[in-house]
Structure 1
Amino acid sequence: MDIQPYTSTETLAVGRPWLMSMLGIEANQSVTLDLTQFDENLHWTEASKYQPERKLKSGIPLGKVSATGLFAPYSAVTNEVQTLTVTGGPTGGTFTITFDGQTTAAVAYNATAAQVQTALEGLSNVNPGDVTVTGNAGGPYTLTWGGQYLGENVSSVTTTESFTGGTTPDITIATTTAGGTATATDGSQVFAGFLFTEVAFHPGATKVAAPLMVHGQIDVAKLPVAFDPTDVADGSNTQFVYKV
């Protein structure tokens, strides 16, 4: 009789959902990261009662800064970053967000970042992975665009408020980083590989040793930050097979 091959959707290694195969990991290299170049929430999570150290996410694309020899986030493109700040101290009500002609369902005045992200992903022109929302409940909310909007100067969102309480409550919107082709010329625009594991570090540290993956099979959709293999320039590391 026919024997069905065993298949599994389990993660190959803890903390690496983006890793499709262990083949090639023997080529990993030890490098030193410049922690001052990595951003909270996007690249690392803060220490807590249950996590005594800060922790870098595995799978971050990296580039090497020529002047220092240290590694930093790969910067071939710049992702659009927008900030929504609730002002006036509302005590109730809701707001909606409009992006490129599409408007979300109503969001509570004190919504969590995850709830705001879910509302945006409910739009017909926003897929999961297109935007990452971080921040505290009630804001400010930081919207980092990626996915199909990777490296694009996207339209600014707008909001409509139905707040109660407070003093003239409103939402201010700012584009803190315009998306587009990165202007980096320090070496970080040349793709070097991926951070292979989660890496813990103490607050106040500026450098940490880490394993750099330079060969392997990658599920792009499961990386912790937006990454488009087609943006990798000639001369960069191309020793990867990608699922996109």
Structure 2
Amino acid sequence: MERNEIAAILAYIGRLDPRTIRTGPGEARDQITQWQELLDDVPFATDHGWDVREAIRSHILDSPYPILPVDVARKWHAHRRDRLARHTDPTPAADPDDPAAWRAELLRSRNVVAAGLAAPSTHRQLTSGGRSRDVAERLSEIGSCIPPAVRAAREAAGTSGVPDALTVRCKWCHAPAGAPCRQRRTNPDGTTKGNAVRATPHPSRIDLAIARLDRQHSA
């Protein structure tokens, strides 16, 4: 804070707590110098949540002791820590192959938030990366976890009226609903091996899907 701002808050404190008033010219000057030395990096107010008058009023209401400059400084540093704790770094626009530029942009973003010049970014997944693209466009890029042969068999079953076996869990290979069946071969010692995707579901899974459809029709 500047010297005139320090003088203003000392006058404000004096109105709320007359014990802090210094009447002598030398005392008042020394008090302003002391407070400015300790509050040099503390802003008078910011656009996002900090006002030194609120911190002063809170102390006077909560504490029986006269407020000291260190009390204001501690409140400001606690306010900074809280802001940074709620801040999630947005993805920098800098080239990720340039680590120095990447770190510099992150540091600038954090300093702006800590100084109260910008609000914390608490939802990176909703704010970074620009406008969300259409779902169909994203799916065309990432493809499907279901192999084409399995997907074709599933679509053919749907058009032929046969129930979709992938709507139920397979009790043979333990594939969850929505996932294709896997090859499961038994070793002589009783253990199982094999993890290749089957183009068609296990017969027992198809039977389960049919039984489920029958129950739905009879309900």
- TM bucket (normalised to shorter chain) is under 0.3
Structure with greater helix percent:
2
TM-score normalised by structure 2 residue count: 0.22
Which has the larger Rg? 2
**Higher RCO (Cα < 8 Å, 6 or more apart):** 1
Structure with greater strand percent:
1
TM-score normalised by structure 1 residue count: 0.21
